[in-house]
Amino acid sequence: MAHSDEELINVAKDVREKAYAPYSDFKVGAAVEAEDGTIYTGCNVESASYGLTVCAERVAIWKGISRGEKKFGRIAVVVDTEELTPPCGVCRQIIWEFCGNVPVILANLHGKSETIMMGELLPRAFDSKFLK
Catalytic sites, residue numbers: 57
What is the C-alpha to C-alpha distance for residues 20 and 44, in angstroms, rounded to an integer? 6
Residues whose CB falls within 8 Å of the CB of residue 96, separated by 6 or more in sequence, listed in order? 118, 122, 125, 127
Q: 62 to each of 68, 97, 129, how far by Cα in Å?
A: 10, 12, 21
What is the C-alpha to C-alpha distance for residues 63 and 42, in angstroms, rounded to an integer? 8
